[in-house]
Amino acid sequence: MSGKHDHGDVERAGLLFYDATSLDALKSNTVELTEDKWVYGLYVAVAGDVKVLTLKGTEIVYPALAAGVPHPIFARQIFVTGTTATGLIGGKRV
């Protein structure tokens, strides 16, 4: 990739990865993310399931998320239990 950023389809899907947070160390079964770390789009490096608490407060497991693509998942908590995907990166709303 060149030094320029091409947000193409990611931008059209409403997922802006101009800023992002690594989430692997922030997963928790008991503690929600602080609002500044809420997830507005999720990328996984290694495919698998991801269990989240949505912004509206619903627990859900997204099964078999593909690696290497952005997913339109908005969440305020990523659970340890129920999450098998790794290399999670949460996009930030800008």
* Per-residue confidence (pLDDT) for residue 2, from 0 to 100: 36
Strands 59-65 and 89-91: unpaired
Tokens found for residue 49 = 């399931």
Q: Burial code of 12-22, b = ≥16 C-beta within 10 A, e = fewer?
A: eeebbbeebbe
Confidence bin at 94 (pLDDT 50/70/90)? low
Confidence bin at 54 (pLDDT 50/70/90)? very high
* Per-residue confidence (pLDDT) for residue 6, from 0 to 100: 39
Tokens found for residue 41 = 């789009």
Whether residue 32 has pLDDT greater than 90: yes
